[in-house]
Amino acid sequence: MNEKINVLDNGYVRLTNVMGSDLSVVNSARVSYDKESTELDEKDIRLIKFLAREGHTSPFRHATLQFEVYAPLMVARQHWKYIVGSDHTMDAWNESSRRYVTEEPTFYIPKADEWRSAPENSKQGSGCNLDENEVGWFTDRLEKYIREGEQLYQNAIIEGICAEQARLFLPAYGMYVRYYWTASLQSVVHFLNQRLAHDSQVEIQEYAKAVYALAKPKFPVSMDELVKTEV
């Protein structure tokens, strides 16, 4: 399986594995009555709708999806909150580490017309895009800042400083990291309902849209019933 959607300037989400289907949800629920379906029919679809509507969520934890994600650290750390703070079991996370990896780093750099204003009535989030003629120079400044950090990082490696300390010179928040995320269908939907929301950070919204686009064809009925945020 190699279904992949590119995100931002250098990122992507790749669906690497799936266990189960809408039928898995149905059969997990029906095992209480020692019954099993072999093909999804209208009665099964009504059962999924009932489970979702009434909040009977355990059957949705018997299906899992595995993604490979390449995202800026600021996105990965927001995503991580849904792992450590979730009571939806069946989650796993493994991430590349610059203690061991010394490949050339990649950074997320907003284009001149992508800088956003601070929100008027909130301490977090962002507002509308700013005039690139007024703030576009920040893109050039960020690129220069990253080049300086990369040069210091390379110099430290050349001088024999260990990778786990040399990485301190790299500007962290925009640096891309690669990770595998394996989660139950319920956990995936929890993430989507939170991060497809219009008031979530724009960059992580783009990753949530990619996750949704990859997961929806695998669990069409369950996703329709569980994802409450408009895509």
CB contact set of 47 (below 8 Å; sequence gap of 6+): 26, 29, 30
98 among known catalytic residues: no
Joined tokens for residue 230: 């408009």
Considering the candidates 14, 98, 167, 195, report the single residue annotated as catalytic.
Answer: 195
CA 204, CA 45: separation in Å to the nearest integer?
31
Calpha distance 54→177 (Å, rounded): 38
d(C-alpha 231, C-alpha 197), whole Å? 9
Q: Which amino acid is at 27?
A: N
Distances 51 to 98, 215, 225 between C-alpha atoms, Å? 43, 19, 9
- For residue 223 the two structure tokens come to 């996703």
Phi first, then psi: what are they for 111, rounded to 5°?
A: -70, 170
Beta-ladder partners of 180: 68, 94
Would you name the residues annotated as active-site residues? 195
